[in-house]
Structure 1
Amino acid sequence: MRYIKVLVSVLIFFITMMFFVQNNEVLQQTVTLKLDFFLNPAWSSIPLPFYFMILAAFLLGALCTLFVLVYDRLRLANNLRKANKRVRTLEKEVNSLRTLPLKEAPRAESAPVAAAAEAKTDK
């Protein structure tokens, strides 16, 4: 499985590098971003190369994914802590019940067997 992951990573890297090499002229073009609210004057960025926009979008996606994974990890760790606490509580309860003395009640199914055993000994 490890070799498959490495192979897929190398293929993705190779395809990405081919994309950047073959589209170098297009990626070098500059883009100016504008934000226009109705009441404020329009804001605009400095001219940025298009490849910077692609890399910034990739970085933003990676950070969002990292945030989701960390949140999920923390949530699962909290659930595990609660489950372990519940297990410890139940183990304490089981251990406390093991030390209680047993009260034997006569069983309904063992009474005929005991009566038959007594009848054999009386003969």
Structure 2
Amino acid sequence: MGYIKVIVISAVVALSIIFMIQNITPLSHPLGIRLNLLFVNWESTPYPTYLVILLAFFVGLLAASLVGINERWRLRRQVKAQVKKTEELRKELSSLRNLPVTGEPMVAGTTDLSNETFSAGEAASEGDAPASLEMLEDAPQGNGQSADKDKR
């Protein structure tokens, strides 16, 4: 894709140079710029038209480059902030993964689990599972919504 862009830009530059060389006489006509306001009357010295065109082109090129550089710096700062935030979240996730599994289970949709506790060492076999886990196995699968709510 980069080669195509270089070829197109080169062709445009070559055509512009050919256009200016073939039309050098009309483009050599002096051109002056005037500014007449209520309190300011200003007129530049006359320059050949091709110089005014080239000057306008390079001023536009410079302005577009400055806007592009500014945008690139802004995006670079944004990416650095996002990378920093991602690293913080990874560290937090890693620390949460390393917490011991003890205490009461935090399961939505179950009732009255206040008397039962569960830790990683319990429930060695399926017959030894706490009642709260048995309730979960018997509960319908899904995210807690009934099937008739999903029908529309």
Matched letter for residue 71 of structure 2: D
2:134 is the alignment partner of 1:108: yes
Backbone CA RMSD of aligned residues: 2.1
Determine helix, strand or coil for the equivalent of 2:134: coil
Determine helix, strand or coil for the equivalent of 1:101: coil
Query: Which structure is higher in RCO with an 8 Å CA cutoff and minimum separation 6?
Result: 1
CA distance in 2, matches of 1:111, 1:50: 85
Give me the identity figure in percent.
32
Instruction: Give the 4+ runs in structure 1 shifted more than 3 A.
Output: 109-112
Between Structure 1 and Structure 2, the one with more helix by share is 1
| Within-5 A mapping of 1:1-123 | 1-40=1-40, 42-103=41-102, 104=118, 106=130, 107-108=133-134
Give the structure-2-normalised TM-score: 0.65
CA distance in 1, matches of 2:2, 2:87: 38
CA distance in 2, matches of 1:20, 1:110: 82
Unaligned runs of 5+ in 2: 103-117, 120-129, 139-152
Give the structure-1-normalised TM-score: 0.78
Shift of 1:91: 1.0
Count of residues in Structure 1 that have an aligned counterpart in Structure 2: 111
